[in-house]
Structure 1
Amino acid sequence: MTTAAPRASTEELAAIARQARWKIIETVASSRAGHIGGPLSATDLLVALYFAQLDVDPSDPRAAGRDRFILSKGHSAIGLYAVLALRGFFPVDELATFDHGDSRLQGHPDMLLTPGVDASTGSLGQGLSAGAGMALGAKRLGHGFHTWVMVGDGELEEGMIWETVLSAPRFGLDNLTLIIDLNGLQQYGWPAEDSDRFDRSEPVGHVDLERVFTGFGWNALTIDGHDFDEILGAFDRVVSSRERAGRPTVIIARTAKGRGVSFTEGTYRWHNGVATEEQLETARAELLGTTGAGR
């Protein structure tokens, strides 16, 4: 048996998310490598998954009956690592080794190295196919675990994703949920139009994704990906509809790239980057309410 975390309150989840965001920006600054914008946009979704939804056990990360999670947008690994550490899969202090040559915490998730990582990712577009395979295997073998996959909106430009979108409903994969981190920015992009949210044109900002996925045979939900009430409500709808749905679900989570830190939010230039000491002080004050002296 695995052990799902007791569902934290929205206030507790928000506090954990602030800690995770601080560890993201601090760790990348310390290692002088890594991504910022995508991990910060996904933080609230990851925290909600690991502290309120997934049936996992940090003391037994390979338990056969555990829920599976795949971070398909693998360049956001530091976001996953921060949440895994806070959940107890490995010591928080180990984050300091991020992206070092001998570290278990490489720049992209490696399932052979890192406790809690269910799939090695980084070549964009492959995670949903792997997740569909896990979900199909569970169906065929009679296992009850659920598989969750997170992709980025820029990643939706990869054709392999759409091959799986087409095929998953035909296998009745109601034990598969796709979360789209719709953060509105990718590393590069076209200049913004008046209808775009941020400083570059959104990768799929002018596409009715809910209608598209529904047309392919998926259940589709659109939420604010930074509102824990909406996130948990979507998770509850996934669980309650699973037995009668017979189809996979997509949660389209509207987020902001670089969320939570004033100088990173909503600007494509912070897809990656290393914060200066002054910027770290700003981030620490905004996220933790303390200065360097309070560490």
Structure 2
Amino acid sequence: MEKRDLAYLKSKARKVREGIVRAIGVGQKGHLGGSMSSADLVTALYFYKMRHWPDNPSHPDRDRLIFSKGHSVLAQYAALAECGYFPVEALSTTKQLGSFLQGHPERDRTPGIEANTGSLGQGLSIGLGMALAGRLDNRDYKVYVILGDAELAEGQIWEAVTAAAFYKTDNLVAIVDHNKMQATGKIPELYDVGAVALKFASFGWRVLEVDGHDLAAVVEALDEADVSTGQPVAIIAHTVKGKGVSFAEHVASFHNGALTAEQYEQALREIAQDEV
């Protein structure tokens, strides 16, 4: 796909957001806010940047995506379905007993999932291990890890940050979904980790900052991350929690909330009309 085919990417972003809403359904709690804020990032990865094969999810040369903030995996489920890893209709079974789509990602259950996550703070360590394994195996795949900004309070994140810089893992890209909210409110009021970009840079990472809902800027940053400088890359993506659904934007209760039938229909209407 041509880099500037933004109409295509925007159409896929709408499909991803629609899939998130359909996965949550009516009357069942689901992580709408953080899934919506990361939807454009996931879209750019699956439909522009990453090398992957839906008919062969275990291809050894595939690029890897790890959702460290596993509660937002609905965005990844929606993208995987749209790519053809499994039928789109399966999204409506999310969190049902026996479904292969559960509230947090499971590697052995869902095609295209690389790691079990949801216990926050662990995804970057897993991604670092995969990046180092790729180097040892002489493979040129990239490893992308989507982190929540509240998740950065976990100490294990910073252990992985220091190790990645020391080992010069320039095939590792951390993407921070910086929506500035967590489950119960605004991050600056609850536990502020400070200047995120400066922190990554101080540990020896190359840092890029973008509007995480500007698809042109996101794909440009992903391309820039391919330039090898012997450093891991952190993309700080400034986003809006609940992006694309007016009643959920900037609202902490939709971190993990249920939709009424009216809200469900309104969300689908707004997404269909949204230019993003």
TM-score (norm. length: structure 1): 0.89
Aligned partner of 1:145 among 109, 117, 141: 141
TM-fit CA distance, 1:210: 1.7
Report if the CA contact (8 A) 1:8-1:52 is conserved.
no
Please state whether the residue corresponding to 2:182 is helix, strand or coil. Answer: coil
Instruction: State the distance in 2 between where 1:9 and 1:202 align.
Output: 40
Which residue in 1 is equivalent to 2:244?
Answer: 260
- Aligned partner of 1:217 in structure 2 is 204
Deviation of 1:95 after TM superposition, in Å, equals: 0.7
Q: Identify which of 27, 36, 48 aligns with 2:32.
A: 36
Asked if residue 238 in structure 1 is aligned to residue 247 in structure 2, the reply is no
User: Contact 1:31 / 1:97 at 8 angstroms: preserved in 2?
Assistant: no
The aligned runs of 1:101-112 (5 Å cut-off) are 101-112=97-108
Query: How far apart, CA to CA, are the structure 2 residues paired with 1:31 and 1:79?
Result: 19
In structure 2, distance between residues paired with 1:91 and 1:202: 40
Alpha-carbon distance between aligned partners in 1 of 2:84 and 2:191, rounded to the nearest angstrom: 35
Matched with 1:170 is: 166
Cα offset, 1:211, TM superposition: 1.6
* DSSP 3-state at the match of 1:251: strand
Correspondence list, 1:1-295, <5 A:
9-30=5-26, 32-189=28-185, 201=189, 203-204=191-192, 207-239=194-226, 241-242=227-228, 245-289=229-273
Deviations for 1:102-152, whole angstroms, at most 9, x for unmatched residues?
Answer: 111111000001000011111000000000000011112211111000010
CA-based RMSD: 1.8
Q: CA offsets per residue over residues 180-200 of structure 1, 9 Å max, x none?
A: 00011000246x8xxx7xxxx
Instruction: Tell me which structure has the larger Cα radius of gyration.
Output: 1
Distance 1:155 1:232, change over 3 A: same
Secondary structure of 1:221 counterpart: strand
Residues paired across the two proteins, number: 274
Which amino acid counterpart does residue 250 of structure 1 have in structure 2?
A
- The answer to whether the 8 Å contact 1:213/1:250 transfers is yes
> For residues 149 and 229 of structure 1, what CA distance do their matches in structure 2 show?
20
Q: 1:33 to 1:138 in 2, by over 3 A?
A: same
Question: Which has the larger displacement, 207-216 or 66-75?
Answer: 207-216
TM normalised by structure 2 equals: 0.94
Kindly state the Cα deviation for residue 17 of structure 1 after the two structures are TM-superposed: 1.1
Distance in 1, Cα, partners of 2:11 & 2:64: 25
Instruction: For residue 127 of structure 2, give the secondary structure of its aligned residue in structure 1.
Output: helix
Q: Distance in 2 between matches of 1:68 and 1:30?
A: 32
Q: 1:202 to 1:183 in 2, by over 3 A?
A: farther
Q: Which amino acid aligns with 2:246?
A: S
SS in 2 for 1:102: coil
Q: Secondary structure of the equivalent of 2:25? A: helix
% of aligned pairs identical? 42
Question: Structure 1, residues 8-64: CA drift from partner, whole Å, max 9, x if none?
Answer: 721111111112212212321247132110000000000000000000000000001
Unpaired runs of 5+ in structure 1?
A: 291-295
How far apart are the structure 2 equivalents of 1:130 and 1:136? 10
Three-state SS of the structure 1 residue aligned to 2:225 is: helix
Give 1:281 shift. 2.3
Unaligned runs of 5+ in 2: none
Whether contact under 8 Å (2:26, 2:264) holds in the other structure is: no
- The answer to whether the 8 A contact 1:39-1:258 is kept is yes
Separation of aligned partners in 1, 2:96 and 2:11: 28
Report SS of the residue matched to 2:147. Answer: strand
Amino acid at match of 1:212: K
